[in-house]
Structure 1
Amino acid sequence: MGWRSKEKQAGQGLSRLLLAGVAASVIGLGGTAGSARAQQAQASSPVVLEHVRLFDGTGAAEQDDMAVLVQGSRIVSVGHTGKLAVPKGAKRIDLSGKTLIPGLISNHSHVGVVSGTSVGSQNFTAPVIKGALDQYERYGVTTVTALGLTKSPLFDDLRQAQHADGSAGADLFGVDQGIGVPGGMPPEGMVKVGKDQIFRPATVAEAQQAVQTMAREHTDLVKLWVDDFRNGVASQKPLPVMKPEIWQAVINEAHSQHLRVAVHIHDLDYGKRLVAAGADIIAHGVRDEPVDGTFIAALKDRGVWYIPTISLDEATYLFAEQPEILNDPVLKAGLSADLQKQFSDPAWRQKTASSPLAKASHAAVAMNQKNLLTLYKAGVKIGFGTDSGAAPVRIPGFAEHRELRLLVQAGLTPLQALTLATSQAAALLNLSDRGVIAPGKRADFVVLEADPADNIAAVDQIAAVWRGGVRAAGPLVPR
């Protein structure tokens, strides 16, 4: 369904990196650690992780005293400890008392938009993006989908480099540029990205040309912003909204190029209209009113994916209303000095907490959670994402941990929430090589000190992160 061959892309991308001279700078960011990971990924010696509680990502119940055999970047076999055939000379790692889960997968994030408290085109650099990908990995997010606001060819080259075995940081997929509205979403005064990071077509022909350009750049998806940016604040002046003929032209052209379309919406009305127009992915939850039977039926009949991104609105007020969270070592692991200073400022907290947007965001979270549970129970295909990296308060990695909590607060069990963030998120991306712990899959997984089935907060207790068969990071919080 339009998802490019990862192996073909990786080969083409790495060739471009060498020709452009970018590879040296990308690899150099990882230093000797990056080289060591590449060498370890190529090593043939098998590794067996044993005596571990296993959540395989399929939604099945956990299994105790399990063993996972890894060779190179892949899982070779999975079975009960003592019954699994282990090759002579394999390295054994005893994980007694710990839980193994698949690496988390984000279907909606952004890279190169934010650095500290700054937002803008100046942040779309290899060091900033690699820093974010490393941070995602430390939090157990091993695959990230950047939904637009990107710049070619840098994004394309970085994306292909991340696909290679042994690369440091989260694997990277996503949207080249994306398609917004002249004078509208995403708001130029807030996002401050360059004109080469987003298309804003005014005509059908320009819309078609934008999609064609993205297709030539081998974008994984096409992204549309369709929203007036009021965010539930009645007094907020609405921004211009994309005209139906533009969004229809984008969707039609994308489908002719065998590309799927993800759409930014806030309100149910636009959700219905975009699904009717052929959108493939609703990239944010409906937050203005309860979803109805018509919308549910349309999502199911057309096989449309739905990404709630509940933590997006929570982040608007969380750090202002709960200053004690600054003492959380899990937050500190991903908090820049600039953000620490901002969150510690009483004036900032007062202004943020008393704003109309904070009140509206509380309502949006509650509505989003209600709609998520309704859609989940109805059998709609649900993905996992947060919009992390699009604003300073949406902190890479930490936002994904918050999203899991909010999914559970909405009524899902911890293992149901984790299933969305692993196998379901992989299915949304049409990636059959990850998201579950099973033979033949990528060895992307997270070792937890505690059992998330008992309490989803166990995802904070990361002992180690493995990506592509290599121990990449951990613990998240030094002991």
Structure 2
Amino acid sequence: MLFKQRTEELNMKLNALAQSFIGFSFIAALTACSSSGFERTNLNQANQRYHAILLQQEPVTLNSSIPEGAVTGASFGLFTEIDGDSEDMISGMLAGALVGSVISAVTDGSNQATRYRFYNQKKGEFSVVSKQKFDKNVQCVEVHHTNKIKLYAVDSEFCRLTREDNSVKAIYGGKLQRIGTNAWHPATVIVKDELIIAVNPTSQEIPAGAQLIDGRGTWLIPGLVDGHVHLSQSGSAFTRPDMIGATHIHSYGDDQSWLIDQLPSLLEDYVSLGITTIADLGGPTKSLHVRNQLNCESHCPSIISAGELISATPVPALNGAQGPTFLNTETSAEAIAAVKMQRQFGAKISKFVFTSEAGLSPSQLDKLFSPAINEAKSLGQIIAVHAQDLDYAKAAIRAGADILVHGVMTAPVDDEFIELAKTLNVTYMPTLTAYEHYLDIFKRQLTFSEFERQFGDHYIIDSFAQLNENLSATDQMFQLFTRYVPFVDSSEKERSSLTPQEQSIVAQLETLFSERILQIQVANLFTVANAGVRLGFGTDAGNPATLHAYSVAEEINAWQHAGLDNLKILHALTEGNAIAYQIEKKQGSIAPGKSATFNLLTQDPLQNTNTLLAPALVIANGNIIDLQENK
């Protein structure tokens, strides 16, 4: 009896409490509806606004709040029927649970949301789960941060403008090549000052404070290397008076003056195409210190230089104001002295000429130059050798050549040559288009590609029209070339119109200038590539019609026509040349400890090599190059 009485009293108290709660809630609701002031929950609340780069978005499923709503509704139903019997109380709980579930479901909406990963330079990386949906192309958002975060898509320019110069940079999401394959994988490259310090998966957190560079949708490749250029030659019709005697049209001295004035601009052209390193393979040694002090307004490529070509034959026509391009040495002692002199001026390469012009046999040239080559190697010099004939090329390899430039041109390479090159780790670096340009000039059928006409210097392009318009002012040798080289690859019927003396001239020229020589050079490249000989890539830029920087495009095309795939071409342009010039510890690949020198491309270069010379961004020694300034 006493228990029943206490139970009834408890029910009465709970009922009164519930009714009081309902009344209080109703009054509070009316009060809230009548209020028009600032929410009290917002007192002393900061509202941060900043921009962040959207790194990644992925769908997530939210836990539902329906069970919580059902419990709350059931509790409320129980209170409203607390004075009823048990059936009433149960009915009230069920009805309340149903109403609570419906209200929660309406409030929740879909349980689908998105997890966003953002990066802000000052705040670092952070994630937000939100029901807001952004287009997949959104890259930059404005964040409104109070007790909750609201996100607004904005133009990507806002995120670019908020970058700050920083010694640490993170190039995020670009595709890196899996070494030796056609496969690519996304990664984040972390750069500090001039070096790459990490190559991480894109899922790994980016260090706070890093300057973020969005690499998504790009392919990252090492900076390109042109392994054979001549900075002492302009590429014009007047830059090689030993081959094109046209000094009465335009003097060699004037051409050299133009080149000196324009050299910074020519060097910037290399960088604008993503060619961040070049090897200057022969010019006046005394000009090296001038080049080391060049002040490119945007950026110069790294330059590895040789001095004069050490030769057994003088070329007096190329003696300019800064000195000779070829250094004639008649004894081993003179050759050794030349190596030491060039080294003092900062040359890193010693280049020797192994050809038959002086009337010396391969073994005689070996005897003449081997002591100097040994001296150069003891000083840490790289040995490049100009050798076009097979026997002379073999002699050069035995004498200690590290790089064979131009490639073998007069006979097919044989097994002995291949074995020597592979055993002694020689780099084979042909220059297919430079020879072809000479052939076209002498045949008066030279043309420039649209790419070259669009970007090449008009002084260079127009010089060949000026040459052809004034052939009568050229020297006798060039006139002989233009008269008889067109007959070299002609038929017997066409040659029959010539006198016996003229036919003799054609026969002599055939040993120097012929489509057959070009075909041998091309075939030898294919042979050595398939045999596993190391390959380097060079253009011989600076020679007539072989334009600085822009000639790389033509040389790539020539390699493709020779049958080489894009993977071999890219390797030669990067790691192959880095190995050739002994800079592979710093360049040639994208890896921790290497120089932060690489290009971001908008297309896969293994599918389309045209993209190689159209980088979206160039980073050289950790510096972002403004390509718009360079163009």
TM-score (normalised: structure 1): 0.76
What corresponds to 1:356 in structure 2?
Answer: 485
More RCO (CA 8 Å, sep 6+):
1
- Residue 90 of structure 1 deviates from its aligned partner by 2.5
- Residue 282 of structure 1 deviates from its aligned partner by 1.1
Q: Secondary structure at 1:69's aligned position in 2?
A: strand
Structure 2 distance, partners of 1:129, 1:150, is: 15
1:76-95 to structure 2, matched below 5 A, reads 76-81=197-202, 83-95=203-215
1:278-289 to structure 2, matched below 5 A, reads 278-289=400-411
**For the aligned residues, what is the CA RMSD?**
3.4
Among candidates 556, 559, 573, match of residue 421 of structure 1: 573
What corresponds to 1:170 in structure 2?
Answer: 301
Aligned length: 416
What corresponds to 2:355 in structure 1?
Answer: 227
Structure 1 distance, partners of 2:326, 2:555, is: 27
1:83-122 to structure 2, matched below 5 A, reads 83-114=203-234, 116-119=236-239, 120=252
CA contact (8 A) 1:161 1:167 kept: no
Structure 2 distance, partners of 1:382, 1:399, is: 18
What amino acid sits opposite 2:384 in the alignment? A
CA contact (8 A) 1:463 1:475 kept: no
Alignment of 1:369 with 2:522, yes or no, is yes
Q: Secondary structure at 2:528's aligned position in 1?
A: helix
Q: Secondary structure at 2:406's aligned position in 1?
A: coil
- Residue 59 of structure 1 deviates from its aligned partner by 2.7
CA contact (8 A) 1:113 1:193 kept: no
Alignment of 1:199 with 2:327, yes or no, is yes
What corresponds to 2:507 in structure 1?
Answer: none
What corresponds to 2:395 in structure 1?
Answer: 273
- Residue 300 of structure 1 deviates from its aligned partner by 1.6
CA contact (8 A) 1:55 1:102 kept: no
- Residue 453 of structure 1 deviates from its aligned partner by 1.2
CA contact (8 A) 1:109 1:387 kept: yes
- Residue 343 of structure 1 deviates from its aligned partner by 4.9
Structure 2 distance, partners of 1:60, 1:422, is: 14
CA contact (8 A) 1:150 1:177 kept: yes
What amino acid sits opposite 2:519 in the alignment? A
Percent of paired sites with the same residue:
26
Q: Secondary structure at 1:387's aligned position in 2?
A: coil
1:313-328 to structure 2, matched below 5 A, reads 313-316=435-438, 321=445, 323=447, 325-326=448-449, 328=450
- Residue 127 of structure 1 deviates from its aligned partner by 4.0
- Residue 68 of structure 1 deviates from its aligned partner by 2.1
Q: Map Cα deviations across residues 194-248 of structure 1 (whole Å, 9 max, x no partner).
A: 54544211223222221222233342121112224xxxxxxxxx66558523223
Structure 1 distance, partners of 2:294, 2:165, is: 19
CA contact (8 A) 1:224 1:264 kept: yes
What corresponds to 2:27 in structure 1?
Answer: none
Q: Map Cα deviations across residues 91-147 of structure 1 (whole Å, 9 max, x no partner).
A: 333333332211111221111322754425663776443233212112211011111
Which deviates further from its counterpart, 291-300 or 392-401?
392-401
Alignment of 1:378 with 2:531, yes or no, is yes
Structure 2 distance, partners of 1:218, 1:177, is: 12
Structure 2 distance, partners of 1:64, 1:102, is: 15
Among candidates 138, 147, 150, match of residue 272 of structure 2: 138
Q: Map Cα deviations across residues 396-424 of structure 1 (whole Å, 9 max, x no partner).
A: 11122222222222222212210111011
Structure 1 distance, partners of 2:470, 2:557, is: 23
Cα–Cα, structure 1 residues 376 and 342, in superposed 2: closer, same or farther, change >3 Å?
same
Among candidates 440, 458, 467, match of residue 611 of structure 2: 458
Structure 1 distance, partners of 2:321, 2:570, is: 33
Uncovered stretches (5+) of structure 2, i.e. residues with no partner: 1-163, 240-251, 472-478, 490-512
What amino acid sits opposite 2:427 in the alignment? W
Q: Secondary structure at 2:197's aligned position in 1?
A: strand
- Residue 388 of structure 1 deviates from its aligned partner by 0.9
CA contact (8 A) 1:49 1:93 kept: yes
What corresponds to 2:545 in structure 1?
Answer: 393
Cα–Cα, structure 1 residues 392 and 410, in superposed 2: closer, same or farther, change >3 Å?
same
Cα–Cα, structure 1 residues 344 and 205, in superposed 2: closer, same or farther, change >3 Å?
closer
- Residue 294 of structure 1 deviates from its aligned partner by 0.9
Among candidates 193, 205, 218, match of residue 72 of structure 1: 193
Higher strand share: 2
Structure 2 distance, partners of 1:155, 1:346, is: 30
What corresponds to 1:235 in structure 2?
Answer: none
- Residue 452 of structure 1 deviates from its aligned partner by 1.4
Cα–Cα, structure 1 residues 249 and 89, in superposed 2: closer, same or farther, change >3 Å?
closer
- Residue 383 of structure 1 deviates from its aligned partner by 1.4
Among candidates 446, 452, 455, match of residue 331 of structure 1: 452
What corresponds to 2:343 in structure 1?
Answer: 215
What amino acid sits opposite 2:220 in the alignment? L
Cα–Cα, structure 1 residues 76 and 85, in superposed 2: closer, same or farther, change >3 Å?
farther
Q: Secondary structure at 1:261's aligned position in 2?
A: strand
CA contact (8 A) 2:218 2:600 kept: yes
Q: Map Cα deviations across residues 252-299 of structure 1 (whole Å, 9 max, x no partner).
A: 332344433211111112111222233222122111111001111111
Q: Map Cα deviations across residues 309-337 of structure 1 (whole Å, 9 max, x no partner).
A: 222223335686474x45x2x32454111
What corresponds to 1:22 in structure 2?
Answer: none
CA contact (8 A) 1:117 1:338 kept: no
Q: Secondary structure at 1:307's aligned position in 2?
A: strand
Q: Map Cα deviations across residues 28-72 of structure 1 (whole Å, 9 max, x no partner).
A: xxxxxxxxxxxxxx953432223323337x433342433322232
Structure 2 distance, partners of 1:335, 1:402, is: 13
Cα–Cα, structure 1 residues 255 and 68, in superposed 2: closer, same or farther, change >3 Å?
closer
Larger radius of gyration: 2
Which deviates further from its counterpart, 338-347 or 216-225?
338-347
Which deviates further from its counterpart, 346-355 or 288-297?
346-355
Which deviates further from its counterpart, 108-117 or 217-226?
108-117
- Residue 393 of structure 1 deviates from its aligned partner by 1.0
What corresponds to 1:44 in structure 2?
Answer: 166
